Structure 1
Protein backbone atom coordinates (compact mmCIF):
# COMPACT_ATOMS: atom_id res chain seq x y z
CA UNK A 1 0.00 0.00 0.00
CA UNK A 2 1.55 3.32 -1.08
CA UNK A 3 2.19 6.07 1.44
CA UNK A 4 1.78 9.74 0.49
CA UNK A 5 3.68 12.51 2.27
CA UNK A 6 2.61 16.14 2.46
CA UNK A 7 5.05 18.84 3.61
CA UNK A 8 3.30 22.10 4.50
CA UNK A 9 -0.44 22.19 5.07
CA UNK A 10 -1.97 25.29 3.45
CA UNK A 11 -5.19 25.54 1.47
CA UNK A 12 -3.92 23.61 -1.60
CA UNK A 13 -2.54 20.73 0.50
CA UNK A 14 -5.83 20.59 2.41
CA UNK A 15 -7.81 20.57 -0.85
CA UNK A 16 -5.80 17.59 -2.17
CA UNK A 17 -6.04 15.61 1.07
CA UNK A 18 -9.77 16.26 1.53
CA UNK A 19 -10.52 15.17 -2.06
CA UNK A 20 -8.46 11.95 -1.79
CA UNK A 21 -10.17 11.01 1.47
CA UNK A 22 -13.71 12.04 0.42
CA UNK A 23 -13.44 10.05 -2.79
CA UNK A 24 -11.86 7.00 -1.16
CA UNK A 25 -8.75 7.24 -3.36
CA UNK A 26 -6.57 7.01 -0.23
CA UNK A 27 -7.18 5.85 3.31
CA UNK A 28 -6.24 8.26 6.13
CA UNK A 29 -3.49 5.90 7.35
CA UNK A 30 -1.74 6.24 3.96
CA UNK A 31 -1.16 9.95 4.61
CA UNK A 32 1.81 11.43 6.46
CA UNK A 33 1.81 15.18 7.04
CA UNK A 34 4.63 17.40 8.25
CA UNK A 35 3.99 21.08 8.91
CA UNK A 36 5.65 23.71 11.06
CA UNK A 37 2.41 25.54 11.82
CA UNK A 38 -0.25 23.95 14.00
CA UNK A 39 -3.31 25.31 12.21
CA UNK A 40 -7.05 25.04 12.75
CA UNK A 41 -7.22 23.38 9.32
CA UNK A 42 -4.94 20.57 10.53
CA UNK A 43 -6.93 20.11 13.76
CA UNK A 44 -10.15 19.75 11.77
CA UNK A 45 -8.55 17.15 9.51
CA UNK A 46 -7.26 15.17 12.49
CA UNK A 47 -10.68 15.32 14.16
CA UNK A 48 -12.42 13.92 11.09
CA UNK A 49 -9.71 11.40 10.14
CA UNK A 50 -7.91 10.17 13.27
CA UNK A 51 -5.65 7.80 11.27
CA UNK A 52 -3.80 10.63 9.44
CA UNK A 53 -0.17 10.67 10.64
CA UNK A 54 1.31 14.03 11.70
CA UNK A 55 5.02 13.33 11.63
CA UNK A 56 8.63 14.51 11.19
CA UNK A 57 10.48 15.05 7.92
CA UNK A 58 12.62 12.01 8.77
CA UNK A 59 9.50 9.84 9.02
CA UNK A 60 8.38 11.08 5.59
CA UNK A 61 11.72 10.39 3.90
CA UNK A 62 11.86 6.92 5.51
CA UNK A 63 8.31 5.80 4.72
CA UNK A 64 6.73 7.62 1.78
CA UNK A 65 6.55 6.65 -1.89
CA UNK A 66 5.65 10.14 -3.08
CA UNK A 67 5.87 13.46 -1.25
CA UNK A 68 4.11 16.70 -2.17
CA UNK A 69 6.18 19.72 -1.13
CA UNK A 70 3.51 22.37 -0.47
CA UNK A 71 5.61 25.20 0.96
CA UNK A 72 6.25 28.71 -0.49
CA UNK A 73 8.77 28.89 -3.37
CA UNK A 74 11.63 30.31 -1.27
CA UNK A 75 11.28 27.48 1.29
CA UNK A 76 11.37 24.58 -1.20
CA UNK A 77 15.17 24.17 -1.41
CA UNK A 78 15.52 24.09 2.40
CA UNK A 79 12.96 21.30 2.57
CA UNK A 80 14.79 19.31 -0.13
CA UNK A 81 18.04 19.75 1.81
CA UNK A 82 16.42 18.18 4.85
CA UNK A 83 14.94 15.33 2.78
CA UNK A 84 18.29 14.37 1.26
CA UNK A 85 19.05 11.29 3.36
CA UNK A 86 15.95 9.42 2.12
CA UNK A 87 16.44 5.70 2.55
CA UNK A 88 14.23 4.67 -0.36
CA UNK A 89 13.10 5.92 -3.76
CA UNK A 90 10.91 8.92 -3.09
CA UNK A 91 9.08 10.76 -5.85
CA UNK A 92 9.24 14.46 -4.93
CA UNK A 93 6.44 16.63 -6.32
CA UNK A 94 6.88 20.39 -5.86
CA UNK A 95 3.76 22.54 -5.88
CA UNK A 96 5.64 25.88 -5.88
CA UNK A 97 5.68 28.42 -8.69
CA UNK A 98 9.03 29.37 -10.24
CA UNK A 99 11.14 26.55 -8.72
CA UNK A 100 12.35 24.81 -11.89
CA UNK A 101 12.92 21.09 -12.40
CA UNK A 102 16.59 21.87 -12.96
CA UNK A 103 16.77 23.59 -9.56
CA UNK A 104 14.94 20.70 -7.88
CA UNK A 105 17.35 18.18 -9.43
CA UNK A 106 20.35 20.10 -8.07
CA UNK A 107 19.03 19.51 -4.56
CA UNK A 108 18.00 15.88 -4.72
CA UNK A 109 18.91 12.72 -6.59
CA UNK A 110 15.33 11.49 -6.19
CA UNK A 111 12.87 11.64 -9.11
CA UNK A 112 11.12 15.04 -9.26
CA UNK A 113 7.99 16.51 -10.83
CA UNK A 114 6.24 19.86 -10.67
CA UNK A 115 2.51 20.21 -10.17
CA UNK A 116 0.47 23.43 -10.27
CA UNK A 117 -2.87 22.91 -8.52
CA UNK A 118 -6.00 25.03 -8.92
CA UNK A 119 -8.53 26.11 -6.31
CA UNK A 120 -11.37 24.89 -8.58
CA UNK A 121 -10.33 21.30 -7.81
CA UNK A 122 -12.03 21.86 -4.44
CA UNK A 123 -15.27 21.34 -6.40
CA UNK A 124 -13.82 18.47 -8.41
CA UNK A 125 -12.87 20.31 -11.60
CA UNK A 126 -10.07 22.36 -13.14
CA UNK A 127 -6.80 21.51 -14.88
CA UNK A 128 -3.77 20.27 -12.94
CA UNK A 129 -0.52 21.15 -14.72
CA UNK A 130 2.32 18.64 -14.48
CA UNK A 131 5.93 18.59 -15.69
CA UNK A 132 8.37 15.76 -14.96
CA UNK A 133 12.11 15.68 -14.45
CA UNK A 134 13.87 13.13 -16.66
CA UNK A 135 14.59 11.01 -13.56
CA UNK A 136 10.87 10.43 -12.95
CA UNK A 137 10.10 6.96 -14.31
CA UNK A 138 6.89 5.74 -15.94
CA UNK A 139 5.53 4.20 -12.74
CA UNK A 140 6.03 7.42 -10.73
CA UNK A 141 4.42 9.49 -13.50
CA UNK A 142 1.40 7.20 -13.72
CA UNK A 143 0.90 7.19 -9.95
CA UNK A 144 0.95 11.02 -9.86
CA UNK A 145 -1.49 11.16 -12.79
CA UNK A 146 -3.83 8.75 -10.99
CA UNK A 147 -3.72 10.74 -7.73
CA UNK A 148 -4.43 14.08 -9.42
CA UNK A 149 -7.13 12.61 -11.70
CA UNK A 150 -9.24 12.07 -8.57
CA UNK A 151 -10.18 15.75 -8.61
CA UNK A 152 -9.00 17.32 -11.87
CA UNK A 153 -8.08 16.99 -15.52
CA UNK A 154 -4.32 16.35 -15.66
CA UNK A 155 -2.29 17.99 -18.43
CA UNK A 156 1.42 17.44 -18.94
CA UNK A 157 2.98 20.68 -20.23
CA UNK A 158 6.58 21.47 -21.19
CA UNK A 159 8.15 23.47 -18.41
CA UNK A 160 8.89 26.49 -20.64
CA UNK A 161 5.10 26.91 -21.06
CA UNK A 162 4.31 26.36 -17.40
CA UNK A 163 4.09 29.99 -16.25
CA UNK A 164 1.69 31.13 -19.00
CA UNK A 165 -0.41 27.98 -18.53
CA UNK A 166 -0.54 28.62 -14.75
CA UNK A 167 -2.20 31.96 -15.47
CA UNK A 168 -4.97 30.05 -17.24
CA UNK A 169 -5.41 27.28 -14.65
CA UNK A 170 -4.21 28.23 -11.20
CA UNK A 171 -4.48 32.05 -11.25
CA UNK A 172 -7.52 32.43 -13.49
CA UNK A 173 -10.19 31.88 -10.77
CA UNK A 174 -8.71 34.97 -9.08
CA UNK A 175 -8.59 36.89 -12.37
CA UNK A 176 -12.16 35.87 -13.27
CA UNK A 177 -13.38 36.91 -9.80
CA UNK A 178 -11.59 40.28 -10.15
CA UNK A 179 -13.18 40.89 -13.58
CA UNK A 180 -16.72 40.09 -12.42
CA UNK A 181 -16.32 42.09 -9.21
CA UNK A 182 -15.71 45.10 -11.48
CA UNK A 183 -18.67 44.19 -13.71
CA UNK A 184 -20.95 43.95 -10.66
CA UNK A 185 -19.78 47.35 -9.41
CA UNK A 186 -20.31 48.88 -12.87
CA UNK A 187 -23.89 47.52 -12.85
CA UNK A 188 -24.52 49.24 -9.51
CA UNK A 189 -23.00 52.53 -10.72
CA UNK A 190 -25.11 52.49 -13.90
CA UNK A 191 -28.47 51.17 -12.64
CA UNK A 192 -30.81 50.77 -9.68
CA UNK A 193 -29.48 47.26 -8.93
CA UNK A 194 -27.94 46.48 -5.54
CA UNK A 195 -24.48 44.87 -5.29
CA UNK A 196 -26.01 41.64 -3.89
CA UNK A 197 -28.41 41.42 -6.84
CA UNK A 198 -25.55 42.00 -9.28
CA UNK A 199 -23.44 39.30 -7.58
CA UNK A 200 -26.28 36.77 -7.73
CA UNK A 201 -27.04 37.46 -11.41
CA UNK A 202 -23.39 37.17 -12.41
CA UNK A 203 -22.59 34.13 -10.26
CA UNK A 204 -25.32 32.04 -11.89
CA UNK A 205 -24.44 33.40 -15.33
CA UNK A 206 -20.84 32.24 -14.76
CA UNK A 207 -21.94 28.81 -13.58
CA UNK A 208 -24.29 28.40 -16.54
CA UNK A 209 -21.74 29.62 -19.07
CA UNK A 210 -19.17 27.16 -17.75
CA UNK A 211 -21.69 24.33 -18.09
CA UNK A 212 -22.57 25.33 -21.66
CA UNK A 213 -18.90 25.42 -22.62
CA UNK A 214 -18.15 22.04 -21.05
CA UNK A 215 -21.37 20.06 -21.55
CA UNK A 216 -22.33 21.39 -24.99
CA UNK A 217 -18.74 21.70 -26.19
CA UNK A 218 -19.22 25.33 -27.20
CA UNK A 219 -16.23 27.58 -27.82
CA UNK A 220 -16.08 31.11 -26.41
CA UNK A 221 -16.62 32.56 -29.91
CA UNK A 222 -19.67 30.33 -30.51
CA UNK A 223 -21.15 31.41 -27.17
CA UNK A 224 -20.78 35.08 -28.14
CA UNK A 225 -22.46 34.33 -31.50
CA UNK A 226 -25.38 32.52 -29.87
CA UNK A 227 -26.12 35.32 -27.40
CA UNK A 228 -25.35 38.29 -29.63
CA UNK A 229 -28.05 38.69 -32.28
CA UNK A 230 -27.13 40.90 -35.23
CA UNK A 231 -27.44 44.60 -34.37
CA UNK A 232 -28.58 43.70 -30.82
CA UNK A 233 -27.58 44.80 -27.34
CA UNK A 234 -25.19 41.95 -26.47
CA UNK A 235 -23.23 42.62 -29.67
CA UNK A 236 -22.76 46.26 -28.62
CA UNK A 237 -21.37 45.17 -25.25
CA UNK A 238 -19.18 42.43 -26.72
CA UNK A 239 -17.68 44.95 -29.15
CA UNK A 240 -16.62 47.17 -26.23
CA UNK A 241 -14.87 44.21 -24.58
CA UNK A 242 -13.22 43.11 -27.84
CA UNK A 243 -11.90 46.62 -28.31
CA UNK A 244 -10.66 47.31 -24.78
CA UNK A 245 -9.82 43.95 -23.21
CA UNK A 246 -6.78 42.92 -25.35
CA UNK A 247 -4.63 45.67 -23.83
CA UNK A 248 -5.70 44.74 -20.29
CA UNK A 249 -4.91 41.06 -20.81
CA UNK A 250 -1.57 41.80 -22.50
CA UNK A 251 -0.68 43.90 -19.44
CA UNK A 252 -1.81 41.08 -17.17
CA UNK A 253 0.52 38.60 -18.89
CA UNK A 254 3.40 41.11 -18.94
CA UNK A 255 3.07 41.76 -15.19
CA UNK A 256 2.65 38.15 -14.13
CA UNK A 257 5.54 36.90 -16.31
CA UNK A 258 7.72 39.64 -14.82
CA UNK A 259 6.72 38.41 -11.35
CA UNK A 260 7.67 34.81 -12.23
CA UNK A 261 11.08 36.06 -13.41
CA UNK A 262 11.58 38.05 -10.19
CA UNK A 263 10.72 34.98 -8.13
CA UNK A 264 13.17 32.83 -10.13
CA UNK A 265 15.90 35.43 -9.52
CA UNK A 266 15.16 35.41 -5.77
CA UNK A 267 15.39 31.63 -5.74
CA UNK A 268 18.71 31.74 -7.63
CA UNK A 269 19.98 34.31 -5.12
CA UNK A 270 18.90 32.18 -2.16
CA UNK A 271 20.56 29.19 -3.83
CA UNK A 272 23.91 31.03 -4.07
CA UNK A 273 23.85 31.78 -0.36
CA UNK A 274 22.72 28.30 0.59
Structure 2
Protein backbone atom coordinates (compact mmCIF):
# COMPACT_ATOMS: atom_id res chain seq x y z
CA UNK A 1 0.00 0.00 0.00
CA UNK A 2 1.74 3.18 -1.15
CA UNK A 3 1.94 6.29 0.98
CA UNK A 4 1.98 9.82 -0.43
CA UNK A 5 3.67 12.62 1.50
CA UNK A 6 3.02 16.32 1.01
CA UNK A 7 4.98 19.26 2.41
CA UNK A 8 3.02 22.52 2.35
CA UNK A 9 -0.75 22.67 1.92
CA UNK A 10 -1.74 25.46 -0.45
CA UNK A 11 -4.38 25.41 -3.20
CA UNK A 12 -2.47 23.06 -5.53
CA UNK A 13 -1.76 20.50 -2.78
CA UNK A 14 -5.43 20.69 -1.79
CA UNK A 15 -6.53 20.18 -5.41
CA UNK A 16 -4.35 17.04 -5.71
CA UNK A 17 -5.52 15.51 -2.43
CA UNK A 18 -9.20 16.26 -3.10
CA UNK A 19 -9.01 14.65 -6.56
CA UNK A 20 -7.19 11.52 -5.33
CA UNK A 21 -9.80 11.00 -2.62
CA UNK A 22 -12.73 11.81 -4.90
CA UNK A 23 -11.49 9.41 -7.62
CA UNK A 24 -10.62 6.79 -4.97
CA UNK A 25 -7.06 6.57 -6.24
CA UNK A 26 -5.93 6.87 -2.62
CA UNK A 27 -7.57 6.39 0.76
CA UNK A 28 -7.19 9.07 3.41
CA UNK A 29 -4.87 6.91 5.55
CA UNK A 30 -2.36 6.76 2.64
CA UNK A 31 -1.82 10.53 2.76
CA UNK A 32 0.70 12.23 5.07
CA UNK A 33 0.84 16.01 5.26
CA UNK A 34 3.48 18.19 6.91
CA UNK A 35 2.90 21.93 7.08
CA UNK A 36 4.13 24.77 9.26
CA UNK A 37 0.69 26.28 9.77
CA UNK A 38 -2.65 24.52 10.04
CA UNK A 39 -4.73 26.55 7.61
CA UNK A 40 -8.53 26.48 7.38
CA UNK A 41 -8.09 24.50 4.19
CA UNK A 42 -6.20 21.78 6.05
CA UNK A 43 -8.59 21.76 9.01
CA UNK A 44 -11.56 21.35 6.65
CA UNK A 45 -9.80 18.42 4.98
CA UNK A 46 -9.03 16.80 8.33
CA UNK A 47 -12.63 17.38 9.37
CA UNK A 48 -13.95 15.45 6.36
CA UNK A 49 -11.25 12.78 6.33
CA UNK A 50 -10.13 11.99 9.88
CA UNK A 51 -7.70 9.31 8.70
CA UNK A 52 -5.39 11.79 6.98
CA UNK A 53 -2.07 11.92 8.82
CA UNK A 54 -0.76 15.33 9.81
CA UNK A 55 2.85 14.50 10.57
CA UNK A 56 6.37 15.69 11.36
CA UNK A 57 9.17 15.92 8.79
CA UNK A 58 10.79 12.78 10.24
CA UNK A 59 7.67 10.70 9.69
CA UNK A 60 7.74 11.49 5.95
CA UNK A 61 10.63 9.04 5.54
CA UNK A 62 7.96 6.33 5.35
CA UNK A 63 6.48 7.75 2.11
CA UNK A 64 6.83 6.31 -1.38
CA UNK A 65 6.44 9.71 -3.07
CA UNK A 66 6.93 13.11 -1.51
CA UNK A 67 5.37 16.20 -3.12
CA UNK A 68 7.01 19.48 -2.14
CA UNK A 69 4.30 22.13 -2.46
CA UNK A 70 5.97 25.23 -1.02
CA UNK A 71 6.84 28.52 -2.80
CA UNK A 72 9.90 28.44 -5.11
CA UNK A 73 12.21 30.28 -2.71
CA UNK A 74 11.45 27.79 0.10
CA UNK A 75 12.01 24.55 -1.83
CA UNK A 76 15.77 24.13 -1.30
CA UNK A 77 15.45 24.87 2.43
CA UNK A 78 12.83 22.15 2.73
CA UNK A 79 15.09 19.66 0.93
CA UNK A 80 17.95 20.52 3.31
CA UNK A 81 15.71 19.86 6.32
CA UNK A 82 14.58 16.41 5.21
CA UNK A 83 15.80 13.61 7.49
CA UNK A 84 18.51 11.36 6.05
CA UNK A 85 16.07 8.44 6.16
CA UNK A 86 14.03 10.21 3.45
CA UNK A 87 16.93 9.96 1.00
CA UNK A 88 15.40 7.12 -1.01
CA UNK A 89 11.95 8.69 -1.35
CA UNK A 90 10.94 9.87 -4.84
CA UNK A 91 10.64 13.65 -4.38
CA UNK A 92 8.46 15.75 -6.66
CA UNK A 93 8.76 19.55 -6.67
CA UNK A 94 5.78 21.54 -7.93
CA UNK A 95 7.56 24.93 -7.86
CA UNK A 96 8.28 27.12 -10.86
CA UNK A 97 11.88 28.01 -11.68
CA UNK A 98 13.62 25.51 -9.34
CA UNK A 99 15.49 23.34 -11.85
CA UNK A 100 16.24 19.64 -11.62
CA UNK A 101 19.91 20.54 -11.56
CA UNK A 102 19.36 22.79 -8.54
CA UNK A 103 17.20 20.20 -6.79
CA UNK A 104 19.66 17.37 -7.32
CA UNK A 105 22.45 19.40 -5.66
CA UNK A 106 20.41 19.40 -2.45
CA UNK A 107 19.36 15.78 -2.32
CA UNK A 108 20.32 12.29 -3.37
CA UNK A 109 16.69 11.29 -3.84
CA UNK A 110 15.14 10.45 -7.21
CA UNK A 111 13.75 13.84 -8.30
CA UNK A 112 10.97 14.96 -10.63
CA UNK A 113 9.33 18.29 -11.38
CA UNK A 114 5.60 18.66 -11.90
CA UNK A 115 3.74 21.83 -12.92
CA UNK A 116 0.08 21.52 -11.87
CA UNK A 117 -2.86 23.44 -13.27
CA UNK A 118 -5.95 24.86 -11.59
CA UNK A 119 -8.17 23.21 -14.24
CA UNK A 120 -7.32 19.78 -12.80
CA UNK A 121 -9.81 20.70 -10.05
CA UNK A 122 -12.47 19.77 -12.62
CA UNK A 123 -10.52 16.76 -13.87
CA UNK A 124 -8.88 18.26 -16.93
CA UNK A 125 -5.80 20.19 -18.00
CA UNK A 126 -2.23 19.15 -18.79
CA UNK A 127 0.24 18.25 -16.04
CA UNK A 128 3.80 18.96 -17.15
CA UNK A 129 6.46 16.55 -15.90
CA UNK A 130 10.24 16.33 -16.17
CA UNK A 131 12.40 13.74 -14.42
CA UNK A 132 15.89 13.86 -12.98
CA UNK A 133 18.41 11.23 -14.05
CA UNK A 134 18.00 9.29 -10.80
CA UNK A 135 14.25 8.76 -11.24
CA UNK A 136 13.71 5.15 -12.30
CA UNK A 137 10.97 3.67 -14.50
CA UNK A 138 8.98 2.56 -11.47
CA UNK A 139 8.98 6.07 -9.98
CA UNK A 140 8.05 7.65 -13.31
CA UNK A 141 5.18 5.20 -13.83
CA UNK A 142 3.79 5.78 -10.34
CA UNK A 143 3.86 9.56 -10.70
CA UNK A 144 2.23 9.27 -14.13
CA UNK A 145 -0.53 7.09 -12.66
CA UNK A 146 -1.18 9.48 -9.75
CA UNK A 147 -1.38 12.57 -11.98
CA UNK A 148 -3.46 10.79 -14.64
CA UNK A 149 -6.28 10.58 -12.10
CA UNK A 150 -7.11 14.23 -12.80
CA UNK A 151 -5.14 15.38 -15.85
CA UNK A 152 -3.39 14.59 -19.10
CA UNK A 153 0.28 13.98 -18.26
CA UNK A 154 2.93 15.24 -20.67
CA UNK A 155 6.63 14.71 -20.14
CA UNK A 156 8.63 17.44 -21.86
CA UNK A 157 12.22 18.69 -21.89
CA UNK A 158 12.86 20.81 -18.83
CA UNK A 159 14.17 23.75 -20.88
CA UNK A 160 10.66 24.04 -22.40
CA UNK A 161 9.00 24.13 -18.97
CA UNK A 162 8.66 27.90 -18.59
CA UNK A 163 7.15 28.49 -22.04
CA UNK A 164 4.85 25.48 -21.67
CA UNK A 165 3.74 26.52 -18.16
CA UNK A 166 2.32 29.69 -19.71
CA UNK A 167 0.05 27.45 -21.78
CA UNK A 168 -0.92 24.92 -19.09
CA UNK A 169 -0.63 26.45 -15.65
CA UNK A 170 -0.84 30.24 -16.12
CA UNK A 171 -3.27 30.24 -19.04
CA UNK A 172 -6.49 29.98 -16.98
CA UNK A 173 -5.42 33.30 -15.43
CA UNK A 174 -4.55 34.77 -18.83
CA UNK A 175 -7.81 33.55 -20.36
CA UNK A 176 -9.79 34.99 -17.43
CA UNK A 177 -8.00 38.35 -17.76
CA UNK A 178 -8.67 38.41 -21.52
CA UNK A 179 -12.38 37.63 -21.23
CA UNK A 180 -12.81 40.06 -18.35
CA UNK A 181 -11.73 42.76 -20.83
CA UNK A 182 -14.08 41.42 -23.52
CA UNK A 183 -16.98 41.47 -21.05
CA UNK A 184 -16.20 45.07 -20.07
CA UNK A 185 -16.01 46.09 -23.75
CA UNK A 186 -19.47 44.58 -24.30
CA UNK A 187 -20.83 46.67 -21.42
CA UNK A 188 -19.14 49.87 -22.70
CA UNK A 189 -20.52 49.32 -26.19
CA UNK A 190 -24.06 48.10 -25.46
CA UNK A 191 -26.87 48.01 -22.89
CA UNK A 192 -25.80 44.57 -21.62
CA UNK A 193 -25.07 44.19 -17.91
CA UNK A 194 -21.71 42.86 -16.69
CA UNK A 195 -23.48 39.79 -15.21
CA UNK A 196 -25.01 38.98 -18.61
CA UNK A 197 -21.68 39.46 -20.37
CA UNK A 198 -19.95 37.14 -17.86
CA UNK A 199 -22.60 34.46 -18.21
CA UNK A 200 -22.66 34.53 -22.02
CA UNK A 201 -18.87 34.40 -22.29
CA UNK A 202 -18.42 31.72 -19.64
CA UNK A 203 -20.71 29.31 -21.48
CA UNK A 204 -19.13 30.21 -24.81
CA UNK A 205 -15.72 29.36 -23.34
CA UNK A 206 -16.90 26.07 -21.90
CA UNK A 207 -18.54 25.09 -25.18
CA UNK A 208 -15.57 26.14 -27.32
CA UNK A 209 -13.26 23.97 -25.22
CA UNK A 210 -15.60 21.01 -25.57
CA UNK A 211 -15.94 21.44 -29.32
CA UNK A 212 -12.15 21.69 -29.73
CA UNK A 213 -11.54 18.55 -27.68
CA UNK A 214 -14.47 16.40 -28.79
CA UNK A 215 -14.38 17.29 -32.49
CA UNK A 216 -10.60 17.49 -32.63
CA UNK A 217 -10.71 20.92 -34.30
CA UNK A 218 -7.77 23.32 -34.39
CA UNK A 219 -8.24 26.96 -33.41
CA UNK A 220 -7.95 28.01 -37.06
CA UNK A 221 -10.63 25.50 -38.14
CA UNK A 222 -12.92 26.81 -35.40
CA UNK A 223 -12.48 30.38 -36.68
CA UNK A 224 -13.32 29.18 -40.21
CA UNK A 225 -16.46 27.38 -39.04
CA UNK A 226 -17.85 30.39 -37.20
CA UNK A 227 -16.65 33.11 -39.55
CA UNK A 228 -18.43 33.13 -42.90
CA UNK A 229 -16.72 34.98 -45.75
CA UNK A 230 -17.31 38.71 -45.42
CA UNK A 231 -19.38 38.17 -42.27
CA UNK A 232 -19.38 39.76 -38.84
CA UNK A 233 -17.27 37.17 -36.99
CA UNK A 234 -14.59 37.49 -39.66
CA UNK A 235 -14.39 41.24 -39.07
CA UNK A 236 -13.90 40.70 -35.34
CA UNK A 237 -11.39 37.89 -35.83
CA UNK A 238 -9.34 40.18 -38.09
CA UNK A 239 -9.06 42.80 -35.35
CA UNK A 240 -7.70 40.15 -32.98
CA UNK A 241 -5.32 38.73 -35.59
CA UNK A 242 -3.94 42.21 -36.19
CA UNK A 243 -3.59 43.39 -32.58
CA UNK A 244 -3.11 40.29 -30.43
CA UNK A 245 0.35 39.12 -31.66
CA UNK A 246 2.03 42.12 -30.07
CA UNK A 247 0.14 41.64 -26.82
CA UNK A 248 1.04 37.96 -26.58
CA UNK A 249 4.67 38.58 -27.52
CA UNK A 250 4.77 41.11 -24.68
CA UNK A 251 3.16 38.56 -22.37
CA UNK A 252 5.89 36.03 -23.19
CA UNK A 253 8.66 38.63 -22.80
CA UNK A 254 7.36 39.65 -19.37
CA UNK A 255 6.74 36.14 -18.03
CA UNK A 256 10.10 34.81 -19.26
CA UNK A 257 11.81 37.77 -17.62
CA UNK A 258 10.01 36.92 -14.38
CA UNK A 259 11.16 33.28 -14.57
CA UNK A 260 14.75 34.46 -15.00
CA UNK A 261 14.43 36.86 -12.02
CA UNK A 262 13.06 34.04 -9.90
CA UNK A 263 15.90 31.73 -10.93
CA UNK A 264 18.52 34.31 -10.02
CA UNK A 265 16.80 34.91 -6.64
CA UNK A 266 16.94 31.16 -6.01
CA UNK A 267 20.64 31.12 -6.99
CA UNK A 268 21.36 34.05 -4.66
CA UNK A 269 19.55 32.43 -1.74
CA UNK A 270 21.37 29.18 -2.47
CA UNK A 271 24.79 30.88 -2.31
CA UNK A 272 24.11 32.07 1.22
CA UNK A 273 23.39 28.56 2.48
| Alignment TM class, shorter chain as reference | over 0.9
The CA RMSD measured in Å over matched residues stands at: 0.7
Residue 155 of structure 1 aligns to a residue whose secondary structure is: strand
Q: In the alignment, which residue of structure 2 is the partner of 1:205? A: 204
Using structure 1 for the length normalisation, give the TM-score: 0.99
Q: In the alignment, which residue of structure 2 is the partner of 1:52? A: 52
Contact 1:7 1:68 in 2 (8 A): yes
Q: What's the CA shift for 1:83? A: 1.0
**Matches of 2:108 and 2:199, distance apart in 1:** 51
Q: What's the CA shift for 1:37? A: 1.4
**Matches of 2:232 and 2:86, distance apart in 1:** 66
5+ residue gaps, structure 1: none
Q: What's the CA shift for 1:87? A: 4.8
1:185-264 superposed matches below 5 A: 185-264=184-263
Q: In the alignment, which residue of structure 2 is the partner of 1:97? A: 96
**Matches of 1:69 and 1:77, distance apart in 2:** 10
Q: What's the CA shift for 1:38? A: 1.1
Residue 108 of structure 2 aligns to a residue whose secondary structure is: coil
Q: What's the CA shift for 1:86? A: 2.2
Contact 1:84 1:108 in 2 (8 A): no
**Matches of 1:190 and 1:82, distance apart in 2:** 57
**Matched positions, count:** 273
5+ residue gaps, structure 2: none
After the TM superposition, which segments of 4 or more aligned residues of structure 1 sit over 3 Å from their partners?
none
Residue 33 of structure 2 aligns to a residue whose secondary structure is: strand
**Matches of 1:226 and 1:259, distance apart in 2:** 37
**Matches of 2:37 and 2:183, distance apart in 1:** 37
Residue 107 of structure 1 aligns to a residue whose secondary structure is: coil
Residue 33 of structure 1 aligns to a residue whose secondary structure is: strand
Q: In the alignment, which residue of structure 2 is the partner of 1:26? A: 26
C-alpha deviations, 1:115-159, integer Å up to 9, x for none? 000000000000000000000000000000000000000000100
Residue 108 of structure 1 aligns to a residue whose secondary structure is: coil
**Matches of 1:5 and 1:207, distance apart in 2:** 34
